[in-house]
A and B are shown apart, each in its own frame.
Chain A
Amino acid sequence: MKPTKEMLDAFANALQLSIKTKIIEIVPTTDDEILISFDKNPSDDPNLFKFLSVFDGGWSDNSRTYKISNTSQADWPALKLFLQVTRMNDGNISKWIETNEAALKIAAKMGIQPDQKNPKNVQHVARIVFQKVKKEGITLRKLAAMTGLTQSALCNFKAGGDIKISNLVKIANALKLKLKITE
């Protein structure tokens, strides 16, 4: 979506809270481009570099200005919330992406993935299962046939709904996934 002035202001507030380098201004230059100017070359600000990897863009002006392209493709409210909640702290990011789909997409662009080995909730388990389904090119109809479950039960699980352990075992067996509980 194309960011409004209010969206950009709120985004700038949240970004400034999360980084060390002082932001001078954030201005749209064309319909699909934004410039962020900093008071110095932010070479010692890893959070800033990590966050900017979310965008298509590049540095100019002796690395004091960053041009973000394709701004209409970005989810500005989600980006603002991501910064407000995580402040780019690694622990906060790991926790936040467990429960928030938009945050998961933002973190993925930074190369951060959820901890697949230790899912923390049903949504997280569903995400692991349906990543495998996608990878194998299996349709829901086929998965229903493989497991004996209804397509609506599978849809409900995919959407983050709860599932019986016996049904989860059927899905795991069909997909050759291992279920493990350890102390």
Chain B
Amino acid sequence: MLIYTNKEILSLIKQGVRLDLATQNYPSRGQTAKQELHQTSIGKLFLKWVSQRNHEECQIDVRSGSLAEREFWAFSLAKEIGLLVPQVWLIDESTTVQTWLDYPDGHIYKTSTGIMELKAKNIFECVLFDWITGQVDRHDANYLYDLKNCSVIPVDSAHSFLKYSGSLPDYLHLYEVGHTPGLNDKIHSDVHKKLAGLSKKKLNTIVPLRNTNERLAFTQRTDQIKRITSIDGLIGLYRSK
């Protein structure tokens, strides 16, 4: 984890070099009002601004939390439970900066090889995260794939914490068809333990939603996963919502 203040991060970006070419036609980065990739002395940093129009198109209740805030809260929650995601800095209510991880996204890997080895524990933990955050946008360009460790890394988690439940993540579709016999296996996970152990007060501190319905839905989803021990159990939550 990098320890930099917002001011230091913006200063690093200012001293760095903007890489315009890198974000042209980049599939996972198309929805945001403005986006820039900068090469800095601490690596690549990705700067995003979201507009009022983005919020309207995605039906986001800005009074409860803007897309930028939701992205930051999702990162803060992932950090709390020990799930690997890119580090995010919330600059203001419309702006975030995140570290750029050099991994292919699911879009590229899946379509070029037809094979994607996935590990049950990693999938279980990512689905736990996506379920409780009510993620509605986990398509195959919104997760990275670590070839070396065969693991999924969720990115661009701004479309989260809505009052209704999320949609089945793309990587879970892939896992479900490829690993049917093992879906019911009980999985021991530290991420699950940490999530289940978070008090409502702590959850509301990490994710300070201002809309009561969204806050209730979030704590309810967190309660639901306490009894879940398998990937099949998580799929059941999506299918029976």
| A residues whose Cβ falls under 8 Å from a Cβ of B | 9-10, 12-13, 16-18, 20-23, 39, 81, 84-87, 89, 91-92, 94-96, 99-100
B147 at the interface (CB under 8 A from A): yes
B17 at the interface (CB under 8 A from A): yes
Q: Please name the 5 residue pairs, one residue from A and one from B, whose CB atoms are nearest each other, closest first.
A: A87-B102, A91-B148, A16-B22, A16-B21, A95-B147
> For chain A, what secondary structure do more than half of its interface residues adopt (helix, strand, loop), or is it mixed?
helix
Are B147 and A85 interface neighbours, CB within 8 A?
yes
Question: How many interface residues does chain B have, given as a range?
Answer: 20 to 34
Are B113 and A100 interface neighbours, CB within 8 A?
yes
Measured CA separation A10–B113 after assembly (Å) = 19
Q: A16-B21, A92-B148, A100-B113 provided; 7 other pairs, C-beta below 8 A? A: A13-B22, A13-B26, A17-B26, A21-B39, A22-B18, A23-B21, A92-B147
The residue in chain A whose Cβ has the minimal distance to the Cβ of B39 is A20
Q: What is the minimal beta-carbon distance from A155 to any residue of chain B, in angstroms?
A: 22
Measured CA separation A20–B17 after assembly (Å) = 9
The residue in chain B whose Cβ has the minimal distance to the Cβ of A20 is B39
Q: What is the minimal beta-carbon distance from A134 to any residue of chain B, in angstroms?
A: 26
> Which residues in A have their C-beta under 8 angstroms from that of B39?
20-22
Measured CA separation A23–B19 after assembly (Å) = 8
Measured CA separation A17–B44 after assembly (Å) = 9
Q: Check A22/B19 contact, CB under 8 A, given A85-B108, A87-B103.
A: yes
